[in-house]
Amino acid sequence: MKVLIFGLGMHGGGYSAASYFLDHGDEVRITDLKGACDLGSEMEALTLRGALCISGTHRSEDFLWADIVVKNPAIPPNHPMLAHARMVVNDFAWLFSSPWCEQVKIIGITGTKGKTTTSAAVAHVLTHAGYEAMQCGNMGISAFTVLREWERRHEQGRRLPDFLVVEFSSWQIRDSVQALHGQLPIMEVCALTNFYPDHLNSYQSIEQYLEDKLELFTPSIHMAVVPDVMMKRIQKQTKLDRRHIRGIDRSCPKELEQQPHLQSAYAILLALGLKYKSILKALESFQGVPHRIEQVGSLGSILFVNDSAATIPEAVHFSYAKFRSMAVHLICGGTDKNLKADAMLEEVKHATSISLLDGSFTQNKLLPLLKQHDIPYRGPFKSMGDALQASYDAAQAKQHDLPDLPQAILLSPGSASFELFANEFDRGNQFKNLVGLLLEA
């Protein structure tokens, strides 16, 4: 079979796809507009395995050559090159076409924020309860990687996992629905963690963005877990009985009222039939995931928190809630996604200090907001080192005045990262590395 990987990408998805088909003896070509030096060792490794890598351009002849085109989710479905493709798939479509999916209970999770934390927390609790739960999806684990593992287990006579916890972005849902002609697999639980404006630099409207999210909710799912305000819409869309739709807000126990990042996971686990005491007990040992309210370390009374995955203003509000009892030194700002900054107004008003990372969101949205409300700030800075140093200086000054007051230096940008960093993970890793140097000094 002739396979074209349309967009190698920077998070391993294209590499996993190419590796999967090379493992099966297929002819593989890879096309990506980035240069070979930007794509690094992955393209070199695939070339050594026999793939033909075309960088810096897309050629119509490659699309005409291919039996199937595996599309990167960041590429829009109306890209003109796709008009030459015989068949367009993504990793989920390939996995969900496998009959082995019928042997595994699938939990589908989407939402604007909190998807990765929710997926990881659900898998953690299921493992704690004695089940095997694999993860894949938007957190960076390709469905091709999962399918290859299932194939190896089948060859070795080993059993498949009990659960597959799948994190979907809106683009992955859109591509999966299109590739499978709307025939998504039966899901044990389908969840929407929350919904806020996002990706309005890619979507024509917020409703179009929401519609892509909600395509995950088909009449074949067994249970739906959604914010309370979405329950009626989901019931109308899926025709599920109200007993099979669980509201996240009304499910929240008092023990998790101050931990909003775990409330969706708790509701999903209840829907799966786990007991509330066992869920809460297992969640006590959940350590979270990198770049999402990640506590990096502390120096005296100063706590360093990496929340680089907060790429929309609402996420700053979401994360800041955990640190309201502390003096918060907020590092924020970055690249604009056609979003308003108003959702983080309360946080910038109450922050002890603000250090700005430069970028279009900072220049066009944050600075006007700060000036309008006479909120002092430092920067904008063009490096993480300068922003962190400014926040650390402010924290040290506060520590000198009020040594017993706990403080947090919180990297929670509220925007994308691409003008100063490769991605939000690069942004978070730079923060963590610099904090590590401070802790070692």
Read off the pLDDT band of 260 (50, 70, 90).
Answer: confident
Q: Are 47 and 40 in contact (CB under 8 A)?
A: no
pLDDT, residue 292, reads 87
Residue 14: give its domain's CATH number.
3.40.50.720
- The vertex-114 CA angle with 273 and 337, nearest 5°, equals 150
**Total domain count for the chain?**
3
Q: How many C-beta atoms surround the C-beta of residue 319 within 10 A?
A: 24
pLDDT in tens, 336-353: 988 889 989 999 999 999
pLDDT, residue 10, reads 63
Q: Are 74 and 6 in contact (CB under 8 A)?
A: no
253 and 354 share a domain? no
Tell me the C-alpha distance between 397 and 320, whole Å. 21
272 and 349 share a domain? no
**Structural domain ending residue among the three candidates 262, 285, 308:** 285
**Structural domain ending residue among the three candidates 37, 57, 89:** 89
Domain encompassing residue 337: 294-440
pLDDT in tens, 297-338: 999 889 999 999 999 898 898 889 889 889 999 999 999 988
pLDDT in tens, 173-218: 999 999 999 999 999 999 999 987 777 667 778 888 889 999 999 9
348 and 326 share a domain? yes
Give percent above pLDDT 70 in the chain. 97
Range in 129-133, 253-257, 268-272 with the lowest mean pLDDT: 253-257
33 and 79 share a domain? yes
281 and 299 share a domain? no
70 and 163 share a domain? no
pLDDT, residue 11, reads 62
Tell me the C-alpha distance between 386 and 361, whole Å. 18
The pair of three-digit structure tokens given for residue 103, joined into one six-digit string = 């042997």
329 and 279 share a domain? no
152 and 186 share a domain? yes
Residue 314: give its domain's CATH number.
3.90.190.20
Residue 168: give its domain's CATH number.
3.40.1190.10
179 and 299 share a domain? no
269 and 333 share a domain? no
Tell me the C-alpha distance between 177 and 392, whole Å. 47
243 and 330 share a domain? no
**Structural domain ending residue among the three candidates 285, 315, 334:** 285
15 burial (CB, 10 Å; 0-12 / 13-18 / 19+) is buried
pLDDT, residue 45, reads 85
261 and 301 share a domain? no
On average, the pLDDT of the chain sits at 92
